Structure 1
Amino acid sequence: MARVIATSHMQYTVVTAAGQFQAQLAGRLTNLASGPEDLPTVGDWVQLRLPANETDAAIIERLNARSTVFLRKTAGRRSGAQLVAANIDWLLLCMALDANFNIRRLERYLAVAATSGAQAAIVLTKADQAQNLAEQLTAVAAVSASAPLLICDATKADGVQELKDFMQPRLTYAFLGSSGVGKSTLINRLLGADKIATQAVRASDAHGRHTTTARQLLHLPNGSLVIDTPGMRELGLLSADVDNTFADIQALAENCCFNDCTHQHEPGCAVQAAVATGELPAERLASYQRLKAEQSRNNNLRGKERENAKITRMFGGKKQMKAMIKASRLRHR
């Protein structure tokens, strides 16, 4: 058995008791995959066939069952899945306290993380550039529910100590966040060396570039395992627990007059009443409605794409399927 520690363009780096190897997928594994989620990603445990010659690639024969998995919708209009990491114990959702601070983005990350099976913690980076730390912490606390909150300042010698103390040996952590939040910088501090390239963010809007382009699993000095992931300019909803992430809205909705209340224009809507009194921020309700609509739309699209993919695997395409059905009907006349 081996664990995938890096991936890039369908090429894999795996580590086993016998050492580290470059690996490729067995043809059977590729042919049986119905989508990207059926193929290995960083953190996966796989069954491996070692090469007779050390210079040759090993062959990944089978993907073991996952305990947790984090995936997102592929960028753009397609609704396919993109695997980010698997078999993670903790998702570390990173958000900078500089001009890139965005509570609505954090709500999105929490909703997607909630369906991964892993626990989620919030890591606030760049504390030295905080706009108004007290207000920002209050805003995060209002949406974070029970997720642990960690604050980091990589410019100070002890600025990541809280994060170091949080991370435990033999557990796997995945750092997730948008470009420029400082994930690679944090990991370098944890490693005690600048092993991951970093770039400065744009001063105009605090956004960064995709410094990390391939996912990799790294071993920290304290025995923890970390997965560095590329910065995400877009985190599309594919599988998300929006309702639990917005538990406050769900609690209010129990008092609505209609069970199928959309919390928009219905009379007797307890959620809208809470917005009117200031109990619930209008921006949070808008975020909830936006995420629910996006999730529903993507689920419908994904269902159609899966059906089309199944038809292609079985018949070669819709045209061929129709021709086979027509031929079958003619034979049975």
Structure 2
Amino acid sequence: MTNLTQYGWNDHWDKEWSKEDRGLHRPGRITADFGQKFKVCTEEGEAWGEMSGKMKHGLQSGAPYPAVGDWVEFQMLEGEDRGVIHGILDRKTNISRQKAGAKSAQEQLIAANVDVLFLVTSLNDDYNPRRMERYLIMAWNSGVNPVILLSKADLCDDADIKAAEMELIAPGVPVHVVSALEDRGKEAVTGYLREGVTVALTGSSGCGKSTIVNWLAETSAQRTQGIREDDSRGRHTTTHRQLFLLPQGGLMVDTPGMRELQLYDDDGGGWEQAFADIEAIGRSCRFADCRHEREAGCAVRAAVESGELDAKRLQNYRKTQRELEFQMKKEARGQRKMNRTDRSGKDPVRRKSSYWNQRLHDE
């Protein structure tokens, strides 16, 4: 028998479960996603699961696609070690990005019901504060608590200086310097791990996520690879999303590395939170709608000129703002096109969920 409280089941999920008559279905949590098949953990243990026909049909009208971390209604097939997923309980949080290569705004779900998100970047030539600003936008939008991990500290002579730089761009966000090779920073990281708490790791390919999982799990749960020496970029090691139960308590989701993070939306106000310092300075601008470009009396540009604000941070502020505005326009154009097609009656549109095409592998 499996104790589901170890996997995050609590009073909140008890209440969600009791809202409907679930019949013979039992609660389960998705621990691995292999496309059309999933690993589901129930009180009886782990089993393979597939979506019911009704659930697959519902995807076409906007129902969510199952993701690692989801709590689901599960039915074991009699005499078999597999079962059927009949539904998904409402998510508390979901970590998303814009689907790579999509012509219209499409959400790609990374993980669901995560409490803490470790944003990992390695202290080698791949270190990039501007990329971290993008990850922070994604984290704040998802509703989870971000924590920055600066990995591979054994490869860096000025780790503390880089940590201070990260603290400047992420006010209030914990920053930890870690090294699995030197066993550095482990106590600080394990402080976030306790029974029922779900932690996810995200970062670029080769930043050391799988190594961190193995380090914390004290086992070779995930395969690891080296990085290219010419640019410190990694090859894909993790090829699917998977949730691990850690020996010290807590759960960890390892995700495939991303060579590029495209932002999806800003419903959670993540952009403003990620650039809270610039937003605060901007309240002193002469004009309330100042874009901090060429307007007279711009306090933000004055802060750059005085050295109070990094010019590259302001540049990324503008870049990500334009990107999110463009995504909103793409989404609006796609919706208008869908509505026109629906009215014509000639080419009925199947309303696919933003999760329907998320099977595309991470870049």
Unaligned runs of 5+ in 1: 323-333
Distance 1:133 1:189 in 2: 20
Q: Please list the CA deviations of residues 21-72 of structure 1 after superposition, one character each: whole Å capped at 9, or x if unmatched.
A: 11111222222225887111000001112212315x4111111001111011
Deviation at 1:310, TM superposition (A): 6.5
Distance 1:299 1:38 in 2: 20
State the match for 1:119 in structure 2: 145
- 8 Å CA contact retained: 2:150, 2:177: yes
Residue range with higher mean Cα deviation, 232-241 or 203-212: 232-241
Q: 2:304 aligns with which of 275, 279, 290?
A: 275
Matches within 5 A, 1:172-251: 172-240=198-266, 241-251=270-280
Share of identical aligned residues, percent? 35
Q: 1:265 aligns with which of 275, 294, 307?
A: 294
2:95 equivalent to 1:70: yes
Distance 1:80 1:230 in 2: 19
C-alpha spacing 1:168/1:5, structure 2 compared with 1 (3 Å): same
Deviation at 1:87, TM superposition (A): 0.5
Deviation at 1:161, TM superposition (A): 3.1
Larger Rg: 1
State the match for 1:170 in structure 2: 196
- 8 Å CA contact retained: 1:311, 1:318: no
Deviation at 1:303, TM superposition (A): 3.0
2:31 equivalent to 1:5: yes
Q: Please list the CA deviations of residues 145-192 of structure 1 after superposition, one character each: whole Å capped at 9, or x if unmatched.
A: 111112211112455332123322221000111111100001101111
RMSD across aligned positions (CA): 2.1
2:317 equivalent to 1:292: no
Match of 1:174, SS?
Answer: strand
State the match for 1:59 in structure 2: 84
Q: 1:303 aligns with which of 327, 332, 349?
A: 332
TM-score, length-scaled by structure 2: 0.83
State the match for 2:347 in structure 1: 320
Deviation at 1:321, TM superposition (A): 6.0
Deviation at 1:305, TM superposition (A): 3.0
Distance 2:319 2:148 in 1: 22
Match of 2:54, SS?
Answer: helix
Q: Which has the higher contact order (CA 8 A, sep 6+)?
A: 2
Distance 2:30 2:313 in 1: 38
- 8 Å CA contact retained: 1:311, 1:321: no
Q: Please list the CA deviations of residues 199-234 of structure 1 after superposition, one character each: whole Å capped at 9, or x if unmatched.
A: 000111110011001000000101210001000111
C-alpha spacing 1:220/1:309, structure 2 compared with 1 (3 Å): farther
- 8 Å CA contact retained: 1:99, 1:131: no
Unaligned runs of 5+ in 2: 1-26, 350-363
Distance 1:103 1:35 in 2: 39
Distance 2:111 2:190 in 1: 21
Distance 2:99 2:348 in 1: 28
Residue range with higher mean Cα deviation, 3-12 or 27-36: 27-36
- 8 Å CA contact retained: 1:180, 1:201: yes
Deviation at 1:311, TM superposition (A): 6.8
Q: 1:137 aligns with which of 140, 163, 166?
A: 163
Residue range with higher mean Cα deviation, 196-205 or 32-41: 32-41
State the match for 1:326 in structure 2: none
- 8 Å CA contact retained: 1:152, 1:162: no
Q: 1:151 aligns with which of 168, 172, 177?
A: 177
Distance 2:221 2:37 in 1: 21
Distance 2:233 2:258 in 1: 11
Distance 1:301 1:290 in 2: 17
Query: How many pairs align?
Result: 319
Match of 2:142, SS?
Answer: coil
Q: Please list the CA deviations of residues 258-279 of structure 1 after superposition, one character each: whole Å capped at 9, or x if unmatched.
A: 2211111111111111111111
